[in-house]
Structure 1
Amino acid sequence: MLLTISGLPGSGTTTVSRILSQRHGLEMISAGEVFRSLAKEYGMTLSEFGELAESDDSIDLQIDERQKEIASTRDNIILEGRLAGHMATHDLKVWIKAPVEVRVQRVVARECGSFEEKLEETREREASEAIRYKGIYSIDIGDLSVYDLVIDSTKWDQFQVADIISCAIKRFSEQ
């Protein structure tokens, strides 16, 4: 089974992916963690690294190629990342969404800082990513038509979202 979990920052993709990984014995591969670790290696904030990635396609290409390679060579994994649903085929593709204010509150709780500061960073990051994805892959990140399941994480907590996806995994596996 190959499961992709995608969503914008603060939507809950990483938390839900970790829960599902433990529940179903699936290996988790996170594009966001790779991006954050690269930003740290470069000594940059996520916003600064996003700006660099806008002018250097090789950063996104490295992350995305790694996901494609993993998806084509392994079974029983979760690919977690904004473009994971576009990078893999023959899988169950999930998008987790939430309003920007809710997502930013979650980011503030996780990373500290002020709501206003994180709201601006989030908007800049998302705008930067949208430009890069459109320019590199011709992907409109707002087009959710590639996903099998879209879940609003403001309606359920992380365990309930994982329950919904677990039900979809069971049905998908039966096909």
Structure 2
Amino acid sequence: MIIAISGLHGTGKSTCAKALAEIFNLRYVSAGEMFREVAREKGFSIEELSKLSEIDKSIDLAIDERTRKEAEIGNVVLEGQLTPWIIANKGFKIYIAASKKDRIERISKRDGLTLEKAEKETLTRESSERKRYKEYYGINIDDLSIYDLIIDTSLFGKEETIKILEKIIKNIKSYLKEGKNK
């Protein structure tokens, strides 16, 4: 089974992805964590690496290739902006949404930033990602038509969202295992 989870920063996609990996005994792979690892290794902030990635596409391409290989292995929850496109016609694709206000508050709390700094960094990063993904791949990440399911975490608590996702996936699990989708 392959589950791809995507969404903007601060929506709760990592929380949902980790929980689903645990519930269904799947591996968890985060493209965002891979990006953060590269930033740490190079001594850059996320914002700085995002800007560098606008002129050096090898960073994104390396992360995408690793994500693609993880999908080929299977039995995985892949979390990241491009994962639905990377897995193409395999797996179940979930988009996690949340209001901008909720996203910024969550990021501020999670990263220990002021609301203003969290908003500036997040919007700068998302703008950079939109630009790169459009330029490098021709992908508009705001086009949600690729997704099988869209859920707004602003409407539900963390536990409720995870229970909803668990119930839906349990109901379609045999369909996903047999590879009948797409």
Is the Cα–Cα contact under 8 Å of residues 92 and 172 in structure 1 kept in the other structure? no
2:179 aligned residue = none
Secondary structure of the corresponding residue to residue 145 of structure 1: helix
Cα separation, 1, equivalents of 2:159 and 2:32? 21
Alpha-carbon RMSD: 1.0
Greater Cα offset, 101-110 or 158-167 = 158-167
Q: Kindly indicate whether residue 80 of structure 2 is the aligned counterpart of residue 66 of structure 1.
A: no
Unaligned runs of 5+ in 1: none
Is the Cα–Cα contact under 8 Å of residues 19 and 159 in structure 1 kept in the other structure? no
Cα separation, 2, equivalents of 1:156 and 1:12? 11
1:155 aligned residue = 155
Cα separation, 1, equivalents of 2:29 and 2:174? 24
1:64-94 CA distances to partner (integer Å, 9 max, x unpaired)? 111111112x221100111111110320000
* Structure 1 residue 20 displacement after superposition: 1.0
Q: TM-score, normalised by structure 1?
A: 0.96
Q: TM-score, normalised by structure 2?
A: 0.93
Cα separation, 2, equivalents of 1:121 and 1:169? 34
Q: Percent identity at matched positions?
A: 39
1:4 aligned residue = 4
Amino acid at match of 1:42: K
Cα separation, 2, equivalents of 1:75 and 1:65? 15
1:87 aligned residue = 86
* Structure 1 residue 174 displacement after superposition: 3.0
Greater Cα offset, 129-138 or 81-90 = 81-90
Greater Cα offset, 32-41 or 163-172 = 163-172
Q: How many residues align?
A: 174
* Structure 1 residue 15 displacement after superposition: 0.8
Is the Cα–Cα contact under 8 Å of residues 17 and 78 in structure 1 kept in the other structure? yes
Amino acid at match of 1:171: N
* Structure 1 residue 39 displacement after superposition: 0.7
2:178 aligned residue = none
Structure-to-structure mapping, 1:39-78, within 5 angstroms = 39-72=39-72, 74-78=73-77
Cα separation, 2, equivalents of 1:60 and 1:140? 16
Structure 1 runs (4+) deviating above 4 angstroms are none
Secondary structure of the corresponding residue to residue 143 of structure 2: coil
Cα separation, 2, equivalents of 1:81 and 1:14? 9
1:112 aligned residue = 112
Cα separation, 2, equivalents of 1:41 and 1:33? 12
Q: Kindly indicate whether residue 134 of structure 2 is the aligned counterpart of residue 134 of structure 1.
A: yes
* Structure 1 residue 101 displacement after superposition: 1.6
